Structure 1
Amino acid sequence: MDAYPGVERILNSLGERLLRERIRLFSSTFALLSIFTVWWLEAGTTLDTLLLASSSLLGALCLWNSFFLDDSVPMRSNSFPLLSLHAPTLHNSTLDRPLSDLMVAHLDPETAAAWDEWMIALTESVRRDQTPESAIEHLLRALHLNDQGLLDDERLMSEAKQVFKIRATDQLTDPLSKFNLKALRKLMAHTKAWEPGLFRLIDRLQDAAVRRGPSLTSSPWRLDLDIPPRCSQGQADLFVVLHNNTDTAVDVEIDIVTAEGEPALQNIGVETKPSRRIAREETSDLVDTLGRLLDDATVLWIGLAWPDSCRGPHPVQVTLKGERRETLSSMVVKTTLSANAQQESAAQRMSEASSSVRRLALSMAD
């Protein structure tokens, strides 16, 4: 497990939490002993005063540590106890399988190790035309649509049976299985709370396909971006979804210009494959439509950073350039940098992710 990123951070968090719990326990114990001594024993005026003063100080120390522990991110999941303590550090810029790649990037080391073992075990439990990775991606798409109310539970199980054999589908409904449907829902809720930007892009893409919006196929290139409207700590995640409607595979470059950013310019070269046309009658199958749109898309997850001194609105320009460096498309998005913790800051997202998992677990228990 030590080979997974984020282990040191979690160990430090657990060590600090343990230290504060011990301080709270010992300070409250000694404060009670001091009060007990003053109450029941004749220790003299001077000693009584010292004991009362020490009990007050110890009580304040206990209270301060209690406030700190209450404000820290709680460990709210019995199935994934370390999940709420993990923050993604290293990740690939290109998401080949957007939902599963994003989810795995947000797994704590312990869960990530169990996930890798589960993927190996699924090798013989998927249909002939599937791999464990493609089957999981298909299931996560169906789960996302089910969470939105666009897919009922019966259709969800039907989609699972299309990619998994009977043994694997039985494990998905087995309450003792570590990665059953209930657990996957929790992990999806955790991922959505961490990275709502990608899911906003997916929802816009799905809506454009269902409504046959002109933005889907009217131009040779479809470029869509998402960045948090406000961010703190000088960091933000930029998501880019690109579709190639030219009917030919093209090598393109994406220039990301971040005003006052570190770095100010990022250049990413990608190979895009042609997007398949979706007929109007085919959009009724939501799972297949979403799957084709995501399979044909080039999805980028780019980390942006600014100096701590930067404040206020900052534009980010994304320019798509062809093989001869000609401009094919360009978009500008804006985010506002703030010193205070905002809705999509790292600390807030960790807390919201933990709360989302907790709310989902309670709703399932009901």
Structure 2
Amino acid sequence: MAAKGSKSTESDAFIPLPDPYGEGFEYSEDPIENTRNQWGVLEKRRLSAGRIARHPVLMLWRTMSGFSLAVFAFSSLLYAPIIDSLNGFIFILIPFILIAVAPTVVAGESAWQAMQARISLREQGGVRDGKKHALRAQPGMDRILESLNDQRRNNLVLTLLSSLTVVLLMLASAVTANSLAWNLALLVAMTLGIAQTFHGFFSYAFIRQLGDPFPSIVFHAPTHHPTQLGSVLGDLLVAHLDPDLFLEWEEWQKLFRKALIPGHITKQALERLLYILHLHMEEELTTQMAHDELLSFISQERFEKLLLDEDGRFNWRTIQRLIAHSRGWQPEAFLLLDRLQNDLLSGAPPLLRAEWRMDVALDE
């Protein structure tokens, strides 16, 4: 009896628990896939709204819209029939202000939300290799998040200044001309319009960064600098990548390693690639010359996908963008490279045969 009881107990242990949802109602939602889809939507919205917001015409209107409202308020103070003659047409100011404000606000909010989704995706291991990365804890990430918050604050100030100015102008058009409320509304509207103009000038640089394919690199300030450079351009470029872009760069390097013609060392080939693209960017090499040089160590079959894919995260142009970004942070190092190149081309024996070279530009 005891044996039978133990057998029944063991068999009961393998009975699966009932499904409370029933057949066909299984829980199939994938949180990682949801986060990935959410990030994709936000990223597309950020790029679209950012490209609209940084259009030269819209940037000019955004900067000068406050000044236009201030001039309108000042003109109405001097000559009351200007605002009285508009009547209901005063509401036409609303769409004009929305054109100046809406793309910037949408791009800024999308950038913030996309970054939060990206951090969550990295923490869940939902980016390519499946590895989890605590992106928020990486050096320099706090500065990036604070800069994105600054964008949101700038957008909030812009929205408040614009909306209050328009509301006061509408109020002035509704009350009796030359009354105390009328004069006060126009004076405050003029002041807010001037404040909006100054705000537009001070936040101009933030708008130019909206819609950037590399959303965090412009906010990233390197916190660690290598004391010794094994490969000058390669180490400089990596040192100025933001934490998220650094992880993507490591993934691209794996593709680069596979694309090399056998017999080439990866580190030397990468340094050569960066220097060729740098010379092409400086117009020292033509496109055809740079192409031929690159094909000397990159296989023809993988070249197009590696460097000419416009949809790829890293290609010919985007790598040149990263080189230019590094040069903006460390111009002295690039000036030294240029001088070394000129010395080699000139062929001066005292320079070529010297074991040491001192350049005071590195101390500046």
* TM-score bucket of the superposed structures, by smaller chain: 0.5 to 0.7
Cα distance in structure 1, aligned partners of 2:345 and 2:164 = 66
Please state how far the C-alpha of 1:40 moved relative to its aligned partner: 2.3
What's the counterpart of residue 187 of structure 1? 322
- Residue 334 of structure 2 is aligned to residue 177 of structure 1: no
What's the counterpart of residue 4 of structure 2? none
Query: Which residue, out of 4, 8, 13, partners 2:147?
Result: 13
Let me know the Cα RMSD of the aligned residues: 2.6
Q: Deviations over 1:307-341 (max 9, x none)?
A: xxxxxxxxxxxxxxxxxxxxxxxxxxxx5xxxxxx
- Residue 208 of structure 2 is aligned to residue 74 of structure 1: yes
What's the counterpart of residue 213 of structure 1? 348
Q: Rate the CA distance shift 1:212–1:44 in 2: closer, same or farther, 3 A.
A: closer
Cα distance in structure 2, aligned partners of 1:110 and 1:43 = 58
What's the counterpart of residue 89 of structure 1? 223
Q: Deviations over 1:18-63 (max 9, x none)?
A: 1111111122111111111111244993433443343234323322
What's the counterpart of residue 116 of structure 1? 250
Cα distance in structure 1, aligned partners of 2:205 and 2:162 = 19
Cα distance in structure 2, aligned partners of 1:115 and 1:141 = 17
Is contact 2:344-2:352 (8 Å) kept?
Answer: no
Is contact 1:91-1:105 (8 Å) kept?
Answer: yes
Cα distance in structure 2, aligned partners of 1:71 and 1:149 = 28
Cα distance in structure 1, aligned partners of 2:193 and 2:285 = 54
Q: Deviations over 1:238-281 (max 9, x none)?
A: 3xxxxxxxxxxxxxxxxxxxxxxxxxxxxxxxxxxxxxxxxxxx
What's the counterpart of residue 160 of structure 1? 294
Q: Rate the CA distance shift 1:149–1:29 in 2: closer, same or farther, 3 A.
A: closer
Please state how far the C-alpha of 1:12 moved relative to its aligned partner: 1.3
Residues 270-309 of structure 1: pairs in structure 2 closer than 5 A? none
What's the counterpart of residue 38 of structure 1? 172
Is contact 1:103-1:188 (8 Å) kept?
Answer: yes
What's the counterpart of residue 299 of structure 1? none
TM score, norm. by length of structure 2: 0.56
Please state how far the C-alpha of 1:85 moved relative to its aligned partner: 2.4
Is contact 2:217-2:241 (8 Å) kept?
Answer: yes
What's the counterpart of residue 337 of structure 2? 202
**Aligned residue identity for 2:140:** G
Please state how far the C-alpha of 1:2 moved relative to its aligned partner: 2.9
Please state how far the C-alpha of 1:3 moved relative to its aligned partner: 4.7
Is contact 1:142-1:156 (8 Å) kept?
Answer: yes
Runs of 4+ off more than 6 Å? none
What's the counterpart of residue 281 of structure 2? 147
State the number of aligned residues.
Answer: 229
Please state how far the C-alpha of 1:82 moved relative to its aligned partner: 2.8
Q: Any unmatched runs of 5+ in structure 1? A: 228-236, 239-334, 336-366
**Aligned residue identity for 2:243:** P
- Residue 202 of structure 2 is aligned to residue 65 of structure 1: no
Cα distance in structure 2, aligned partners of 1:91 and 1:75 = 25
**Aligned residue identity for 1:65:** H
Instruction: Name whichever structure is richer in strand by fraction.
Output: 1
Please state how far the C-alpha of 1:181 moved relative to its aligned partner: 0.7
What's the counterpart of residue 100 of structure 1? 234
Please state how far the C-alpha of 1:169 moved relative to its aligned partner: 0.8
Please state how far the C-alpha of 1:198 moved relative to its aligned partner: 1.4
What's the counterpart of residue 331 of structure 1? none
Kindly name which structure, 1 or 2, has the bigger radius of gyration based on alpha carbons.
Answer: 2
TM score, norm. by length of structure 1: 0.56
Please state how far the C-alpha of 1:217 moved relative to its aligned partner: 4.3
Cα distance in structure 2, aligned partners of 1:104 and 1:33 = 50
What's the counterpart of residue 260 of structure 2? 126
Please state how far the C-alpha of 1:15 moved relative to its aligned partner: 0.9
Is contact 2:234-2:271 (8 Å) kept?
Answer: yes
Cα distance in structure 2, aligned partners of 1:71 and 1:162 = 41
**Aligned residue identity for 2:195:** L
Q: Deviations over 1:68-113 (max 9, x none)?
A: 1025583166322333222323111111110111112122333222
Is contact 1:88-1:106 (8 Å) kept?
Answer: yes
What's the counterpart of residue 48 of structure 1? 182
Identity between Structure 1 and Structure 2 (%): 27
SS at 1:94 equivalent: coil
Q: Any unmatched runs of 5+ in structure 2? A: 1-134
Residues 217-228 of structure 1: pairs in structure 2 closer than 5 A? 217-219=352-354, 221-227=355-361
